[in-house]
Amino acid sequence: MKHKLIVGNWKMNGSMQSSLELVDKIITHISPAFGDKISPHYVVCPPTVYLQDLNKAMNKSVVKLGAQDVSEYNNGAYTGQVSAEMLKDIDCDYVIIGHSERRQYCGETDASIARKFLAALAQNITPILCVGESLEAREANQTEQVVLGQLNAVMDSVGAEKFEHGVIAYEPIWAIGTGKTASPEQAQEVHAAIRTLLMSKLPKEIAKKMMILYGGSVKASNAASLFIMSDIDGALVGGASLDAKDFLGIGEAAKMPHTN
């Protein structure tokens, strides 16, 4: 059975003080469970400016650190950007790539997202690649076309053997921050289509092991019903990751076994 993965995307929220308090509550709660039995694995993705202090505060805890974005470039005259090498310097193990908010507000394209994916991997940072359809696309029955199109674009450009080192997060845009979660069946349907795509491009064992997270208004109260679906391997959590109790409640729900 694979461990589930619970990732907190704090977005542009909090202060130094509140970030330190939040991470302290999270690690205090889960550290005693460290060992073979712990499930799930946890990642927190705070705002970039707090990464370094949180890294120190976490002091090699079982919770891993992730960034919310990375530059596609290695170094140079790219004002305001942060490279994968810099993130590695402060012990970031994960980075969110291609979140729908960055696609929408920062003009990120599948091509630039693919370059970010490669930049992260080159520093041994696991990219968490976000894909997801708009409400219009869902209502026009184009969900799979959009989601698989976003995945294929990145997979074709980075190559299957590199792609397998990433994590995928399916996040329907209409469910992000809206309180509207995809039903477990709706989410599973898309996750199964993603798994089928992976199976067609990668060795089956690897395709089965790749983590496919669900994101979009995941809360402690709906997490268990999502996690029992066979292709949902964890969650990318926005709003509910800002409250330790809610975030850890989602983690509790992730201790349930897979049904397959």
* Cβ within 8 Å of residue 189, ≥6 positions away: none
Q: How far is the CB of 236 from ligand PGA (least distance, A)?
A: 5
Residues 84-123: x/- map of binding to ligand PGA (CB under 6 A)?
----------------------------------------
| DSSP H helical ranges for 106-171 | 110-122, 135-139, 143-158, 160-163
Closest CA to 228 of 256, 200, 205, 247: 256
Q: How far is the CB of 171 from ligand PGA (least distance, A)?
A: 6
Rule CB under 6 A: choose which of 5, 9, 72, 166 binds ligand PGA. 9
Q: How far is the CB of 196 from ligand PGA (least distance, A)?
A: 24
Rule CB under 6 A: choose which of 215, 231, 244, 254 binds ligand PGA. 215
Tokens of 6: 């619970």
Q: How far is the CB of 235 from ligand PGA (least distance, A)?
A: 8
Q: How far is the CB of 203 from ligand PGA (least distance, A)?
A: 29
Rule CB under 6 A: choose which of 151, 236, 244, 253 binds ligand PGA. 236
Give kind and range of the element (H or E) at residue 40.
none
Distance CA 215, CA 157 (A): 24
Give kind and range of the element (H or E) at residue 128.
strand 126-131
29 is catalytic: no
| Number of other residues whose CB lies within 10 A of the CB of residue 204 | 10
* Cβ within 8 Å of residue 122, ≥6 positions away: 84
SS3 at position 44: strand
Rule CB under 6 A: choose which of 229, 237, 244, 253 binds ligand PGA. 237
Within residues 166-205, the interface with ligand PGA by CB under 6 A covers: 171, 176-177
66 touching ligand PGA, by CB under 6 A? no
Output 108 or 171, the one with its CB closest to ligand PGA: 171
Tokens of 124: 């041994």
Tokens of 54: 């949180």
Q: Which is the catalytic residue, given 99, 101, 108, 191?
A: 99
Footprint of ligand PGA (CB under 6 A): 9, 171, 176-177, 215-218, 236-240
What residues are annotated to the active site?
Answer: 99, 171
